[in-house]
Amino acid sequence: MPLDEFDRKILAALQEDARMPVAQVAEHAALSATPVSRRIRKLEEDGVIRGYQPVLDPRKLGLELNAYVLINLDAHSDVNIQRFESAIQDNAYVIACHAVTGDMDYLVHVIARDVEHLSQITLKSLLRIPGVRDVKSIIVLETIKPPLKLPLG
């Protein structure tokens, strides 16, 4: 079940364009369509490919502001953690969240329409989650490299 060179070439091609026709993926992998089709299905079944997503332009959706918000809880009880993580799941403007090392507990990726909207999300949603002590916002000024591909080497 480990990936071979064909699988890597297939994944690389799909990372270029997940809607690329199988025949074209096959060219990239120096294979014919049939085995590529079967391999893609196997990669899906094995959970290597978890799904397919459109890459949307946040600006075209009116979402101009990205921020990374570091959050601290005042007590790390199960209830607090449960409540925090559930509030995070429910907030559509929190597009990612990780528990992290260091003096802050969570790193939260927030996307917002503008500064006022970010402020509203921070003050009215994040800071009001019970157990949240402190938040520090890192605001994105410019995206140098957008998150698109994973390394396959």
Partner DNA sequence: TATGAAATAATATAGTT
Partner DNA sequence: AACTATATTATTTCATA
Q: DSSP letter for 20, please.
A: -
d(CA 61, CA 7): 34
- Write out the H or E segment, with its range, that includes residue 10: helix 5-16
Q: Contact 70/127 with Cβ under 8 angstroms?
A: no
Closest CA to 64 of 120, 117, 109: 117
Our finding on whether 135 is near its own copies (CB under 8 A) is no
Instruction: Residue 78: name its binding partner from its own copies, DNA, none (Cβ under 5 to 8 Å by kind).
Output: none
CA distance 51 to 60: 23
Indicate whether 15 belongs to the interface with DNA (CB under 7 A). Answer: no
65 binds DNA (CB under 7 A): no
Partner from its own copies, DNA, none binding residue 21, C-beta < 5-8 Å depending on class: DNA
* Binder of its own copies out of 64, 85, 125, 135 (CB under 8 A): 85
Q: Which of 8, 16, 17, 41 binds DNA (CB under 7 A)?
A: 41
Q: How many residues bind DNA (CB under 7 A)?
A: 14
Using rule CB under 7 A, residue 8 touches DNA: no
The two structure tokens encoding residue 86:
């559930």
Contacts of 133 (CB under 8 A, 6+ apart): 72, 73, 74
Q: Which of residues 10-39 bind its own copies (CB under 8 A)?
A: 11, 14-15, 17-19
The residue type found at 28 is H
Tell me if 128 contacts its own copies by CB under 8 A.
Answer: no
Which one among 15, 32, 82, 89 touches DNA, defined by CB under 7 A?
32
Give least dist CB 32 to its own copies, A: 21
